[in-house]
Amino acid sequence: MDDIVADEALSPRQLRECPGCGLLQAIPPMERGMTAKCARCPTTLHKTATYPLDHSIALTFAALVLLIVTCSTTLMGVQTSGIMISANLFSGPLELAERQMPELGLVVIFVTAIAPFVKLAGTLYVLVRLREANPPTHLRRVFALAEWLRPWSMVEVFVFGVFVAYVKLGDLVTITLEHGVFALLALTFMMIWSDSALDREEVWERLGGAAAATRRASPRRIPADALACEICGFVTAPTADGRCPRCGTRLHPRKPNSLSRTWALVIAAAVMYIPANYFPVLTVMQLGAGAPSTILGGVEELLASRMYPLAALVFFASIAVPMLKLVGLTTMLITVQTGQTAWLRDRTRLYHIVRWIGRWSMIDIFMEALLGALVKFGNAITIEPGIGAVAFCAVVILTMLAAETFDPRLMWDSAGAAEARRAGSRPAATPALTA
């Protein structure tokens, strides 16, 4: 590949390697509220914020306050035979721990409270300290951690879990929504808003002032062996210490051992998929009668009680999404290894869908945790989460990790190599600059 030579000095903000296809490209200077798409695949390269960075401080602070309110108030109350039981964010995980499923409780508490809190508090800390004249270097590590936690913070998925639990219980007992639910809805709205309003490139640029200055020494020429940082997106010539000059992350041309790691995670998820569907995820006992039900059984019960939209939601989240992820990841792996050249744009889109959709499977787990915490009325009625839920949760986490480990640029690399072999020439790397 040729060196990239631009007419004007390139700022780090302008130079990008597409994380979806690996194409190195310069994007023109952008106004506020603009989006840059890759010239070759359906990946979004950069989105500038509509408002200045201080706007994000207010939004992140509001979200953090709402998270604290949500954590300290009651979400739902259930009443039957004169007894009242209420649940907050922590009741489900505590109940799971009491029922010998502490690992499941830990996952639920991590994705609904710990990850969102660390992400919000970390981002707020970085944004506030960025206002200083010389921001300290440890901010880079804090922001990298907050960014890494993004897929694991699942407040909006939890909202759907609460909704499914509410509708499902309405049939069996008297259920009331408490203040916590409204705080949770406001928190979800605020988290989505603050997430989309934050210009991460602007934060990284301000965090890595020295690195940007190094680039200015050779502003118009970027070598062909340039590497892009996986965390902050900075494009640089290979460095002496092998680390990103802007955020300090180790640089790799492609994610290390991506294929073998992804295969291992996909196979492990496929194995766990069997107990996840075979063992019960929920047991409802009413007046001493009742039977354990599996994931598919749960959907059938919802259909039998004519809750069609809810049945469709649970079917989508618990059966369709895990299947789509397993089949999608396997397809992507095989097409890389066989050097397929067709459907490259669609396969890249599939990768983005698989990565985005993974977290939504947690709806069922959240619902089971809440039901278990809310419905324990001795002989009258009890709901117990089953061991199948642990296996199902493992499937969700393993497929999410697999999607993070897979490198979609490999699909374009192997297709490029196959094309080159067919043309009888030496394999070419990614095409040169399009601006």
Query: Which residues are at the interface with Zn ion (CB under 5 A)?
Result: 18, 20-21, 23, 38, 40-41, 43, 229, 231-232, 234, 244, 246-247, 249
CB count within 10 Å of CB 61 equals 17
Nearer to Zn ion, 350 or 396 (CB): 350
Nearer to Zn ion, 77 or 431 (CB): 431
State which H helix or E strand residue 295 sits in. Answer: helix 295-304
Q: Are 3 and 222 in contact (CB under 8 A)?
A: yes
Sign of CA dihedral 92, 95, 97, 101: negative
User: Rounded to the nearest whole angstrom, what is the least distance from the CB of residue 203 to Zn ion in the complex?
Assistant: 12
Nearer to Zn ion, 248 or 297 (CB): 248
- Classify residue 255 as left (phi > 0), alpha (psi -120 to 50) or beta: beta
- Classify residue 343 as left (phi > 0), alpha (psi -120 to 50) or beta: left
Nearer to Zn ion, 38 or 367 (CB): 38
| Radius of gyration from C-alpha coordinates of the chain | 24
User: Rounded to the nearest whole angstrom, what is the least distance from the CB of residue 12 to Zn ion in the complex?
Assistant: 10
User: Rounded to the nearest whole angstrom, what is the least distance from the CB of residue 382 to Zn ion in the complex?
Assistant: 51
User: Rounded to the nearest whole angstrom, what is the least distance from the CB of residue 328 to Zn ion in the complex?
Assistant: 18
User: Rounded to the nearest whole angstrom, what is the least distance from the CB of residue 209 to Zn ion in the complex?
Assistant: 14
- Separation of alpha carbons 320 and 19, rounded Å: 27
Nearer to Zn ion, 43 or 188 (CB): 43
- Separation of alpha carbons 370 and 354, rounded Å: 27
User: Rounded to the nearest whole angstrom, what is the least distance from the CB of residue 232 to Zn ion in the complex?
Assistant: 3
CB count within 10 Å of CB 311 equals 18
Cα distance between the two ends of the chain: 16
Nearer to Zn ion, 244 or 398 (CB): 244
User: Rounded to the nearest whole angstrom, what is the least distance from the CB of residue 199 to Zn ion in the complex?
Assistant: 16
Q: Are 421 and 347 in contact (CB under 8 A)?
A: no
Nearer to Zn ion, 352 or 376 (CB): 352
- Separation of alpha carbons 229 and 324, rounded Å: 29
